[in-house]
């Protein structure tokens, strides 16, 4: 999903993620974006932030993936993780794996299923 958005940042990135998911939280901490993009704003998709509501109104399903707003573009799911990994100066197998959009598209459904299973195991609800 790529869309033009009304809330654009200049010289930064907004990452909308599940703050209650240990996997999502670990991933956004693992990637090191500040050198590549400047300001990094982490927004919990479970929060009452108006930007979260705006993205939901545009059809973004946060249970099916995180969203990233960067350079006037909105990416979701595998595309968002591929963008974050490509911009990241972090290292590790997950970042390498997700750097290529085709690999990200193949691996992302497995990661999403793992997230769902972990949330159920921890007794946490889905976002939507």
Architecture of domain 3-121: 3-Layer(aba) Sandwich (3.40)
Return the residue matching tokens 């946060």.
62
User: Which runs of consecutive H residues, i.e. helices, occur in the chain?
Assistant: 22-30, 34-37, 50-57, 78-87, 93-99, 101-121
Burial 41-65, CB ≥16 within 10 A → b, else e: eebbbbeeeebbeebeeeebbbebb
For the chain, the structural domain boundaries read 3-121
Q: Which two tokens stand for residue 67?
A: 């969203």
pTM value? 0.83
Per the CB < 8 A criterion, the answer to whether 126 and 119 are in contact is: yes
SS3 24: helix
SS3 29: helix
- List the chain pLDDT tens, one digit each, 128 residues: 444 344 444 568 999 999 999 888 888 877 877 666 778 899 999 999 999 999 999 999 999 999 999 988 999 999 999 999 988 877 888 888 889 999 999 999 999 999 999 999 999 988 87
């Amino acid at each position: 999903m790529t869309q033009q958005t009304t809330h654009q940042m200049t010289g930064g990135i907004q990452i909308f993620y599940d703050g209650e998911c240990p996997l999502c939280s670990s991933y956004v901490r693992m990637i090191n974006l500040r050198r590549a993009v400047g300001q990094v704003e982490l927004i919990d998709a479970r929060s009452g932030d108006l930007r979260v509501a705006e993205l939901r109104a545009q059809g973004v399903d946060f249970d099916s993936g995180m969203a990233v707003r960067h350079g006037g573009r909105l990416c979701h799911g595998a595309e968002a993780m591929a963008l974050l990994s490509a911009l990241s100066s972090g290292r590790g197998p997950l970042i390498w794996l997700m750097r290529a959009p085709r690999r990200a598209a193949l691996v992302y459904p497995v990661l999403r299923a793992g997230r769902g299973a972990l949330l159920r195991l921890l007794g946490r609800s889905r976002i939507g």
